[in-house]
């Protein structure tokens, strides 16, 4: 069985790592072809098991460009021969449109689209032209998958999708794997020394994550605190510059992408987000599974995700000072961090284990192909 994955980017972010986990879970009965709209953005490939049958077709038409009839036709022709097409985020929407226009002409397989959030250009508000384009492009899709209640509301509202097409599947992880604390030298290029306390985050180093804001919020913490940012992306230089400007360059560390967060997140003593836009960030679930308290702007579903005692540390979205105050309060009280972390871990165990997520995706994908289950 052949699945075609068309991604806006396959750099190592939340949706990409979830896709990799699903590919691994589906086993040898499914082969996968992965295409990124950004030609060099394939960092999440490191999270795919070597035994998973995966290819990266270099001759697939570009997902970027003007949606002219000729280009859409070329995209549609390239989808032939697969059993299921899976598209991800706005960067793959031209392919969704191509599928809708040419599905019958080329006998194309079913298509399921996934939306996980917005890039910088829509972080501050939806573009009406894109909402209308989505309305038309998704008209013949077999489903629109969203991970958050907020995105479900958007899909049913501004995107004008019928309820029967929109499927809410919260992100999940292997919660049990986060129970053990990693060794101090578990991460590449950095060791946790005795007496250090780590404020950590996992994020693609992209502008929408606003990691310079996290650097500023962190700068007021006592000197034993270190900021460790796990991820890769184009904003590395901007983060470094802000750390230097704030006088904390020696306490801000960017060791790079970690393929297995369970081997790293437990080294953190406190977790934080600083994003301008999120929906249902997997990194927050990973922090909760590791028993950490979370400080974050109130974006997406974050306030609903964390345990009740943690919610007062989910601050107004545009209030940088409030984020800094939340970090300072949590950094100063180890007992409070421990109590909130324990409550978060219980919520992760109760709600966000990946077995339920994987089973739901298996059923959805099989149903789209008219099957009872995947092979």
Q: pLDDT tens-digit profile of 35-69?
A: 999 998 999 999 999 999 999 999 999 999 999 99
pLDDT of residue 320: 96
How high is the pLDDT of residue 119?
Answer: 67
Our separate counts of H helices and E strands in the chain read 12, 13
What ranges in 63-204 are assigned the alpha helix state H?
69-78, 93-102, 128-137, 149-156
Cβ atoms of 268 and 199 within 8 Å: the answer is yes
Torsional class of 300: left (φ above 0), alpha (ψ -120 to 50), beta (otherwise): left
State the pLDDT at residue 123. Answer: 63
Please indicate, yes or no, whether the overall pTM of this predicted structure exceeds 0.75: yes
CA-nearest of 70, 84, 208 to 145 is 84
Instruction: Collect the ranges in the chain with pLDDT lower than 50.
Output: none
- The span from the CA of 148 to the CA of 126, in Å, is 16
Within 13 Å of residue 183, how many CA atoms lie on the same side as its CB?
Answer: 4
Please compute, for residue 368, the number of CA atoms within 13 A of its CA located in the half-sphere on the CB side.
24
**pLDDT tens column, 81-137:** 999 999 999 999 999 999 999 999 999 999 999 999 876 677 668 899 999 999 999
User: Domains in the chain, start-ordered, CATH in brackets?
Assistant: 2-172+354-368 (3.40.50.2000), 175-351 (3.40.50.2000)
Sheet holding 270-272, edge to edge: 252-256, 225-230, 197-202, 270-272, 294-297, 314-315
pLDDT at position 92: 97
Looking at residue 12, its pLDDT comes to 82
């Amino acid at each position: 069985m052949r699945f075609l994955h068309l991604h806006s980017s396959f750099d190592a972010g939340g949706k990409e790592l979830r896709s990799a986990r699903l590919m691994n879970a589906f086993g040898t009965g499914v082969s996968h072809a992965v295409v990124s709209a950004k030609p060099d953005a394939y960092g999440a490939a490191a999270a795919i098991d070597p035994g998973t049958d995966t290819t990266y077709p270099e001759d697939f038409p570009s997902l970027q460009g003007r949606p002219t009839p000729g280009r859409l036709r070329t995209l549609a022709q390239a989808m032939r021969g697969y059993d299921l097409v899976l598209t991800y985020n706005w960067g793959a929407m031209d392919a969704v449109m191509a599928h809708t226009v040419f599905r019958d002409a080329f006998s194309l397989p079913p298509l399921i689209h996934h939306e996980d959030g917005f890039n910088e250009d829509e972080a501050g508000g939806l573009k009406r032209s894109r909402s209308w384009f989505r309305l038309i492009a998704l008209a013949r899709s077999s489903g629109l998958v969203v991970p958050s209640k907020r995105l479900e509301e958007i899909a049913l509202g501004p995107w004008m999708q019928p309820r029967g097409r929109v499927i809410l599947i919260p992100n999940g992880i292997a919660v049990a794997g986060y129970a053990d604390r990693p060794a101090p030298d578990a991460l590449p290029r950095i060791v946790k020394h005795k007496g250090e306390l780590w404020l950590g985050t996992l994020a693609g180093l992209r502008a929408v994550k606003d990691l310079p804001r996290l650097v500023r919020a962190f700068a007021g913490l006592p000197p034993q605190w270190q900021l460790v940012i796990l991820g890769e992306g184009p904003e590395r230089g901007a983060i470094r510059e802000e750390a230097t400007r704030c006088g904390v360059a020696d306490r801000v560390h960017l060791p790079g992408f970690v393929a297995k967060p369970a081997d790293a997140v437990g080294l953190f003593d406190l977790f934080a987000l600083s994003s301008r836009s999120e929906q249902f960030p997997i990194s927050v679930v990973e922090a909760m599974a590791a028993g950490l308290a979370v400080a974050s702007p109130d974006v997406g579903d974050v306030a609903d995700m964390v345990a009740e005692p943690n919610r007062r540390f989910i601050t107004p979205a545009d209030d940088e000072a409030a984020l800094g105050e939340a970090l300072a309060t949590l950094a100063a009280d180890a007992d409070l961090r421990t109590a909130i972390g324990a409550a978060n871990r219980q919520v992760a165990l109760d709600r966000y284990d990946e077995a339920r997520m994987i089973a739901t995706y298996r059923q959805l994908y099989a149903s789209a192909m008219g099957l009872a289950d995947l092979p």
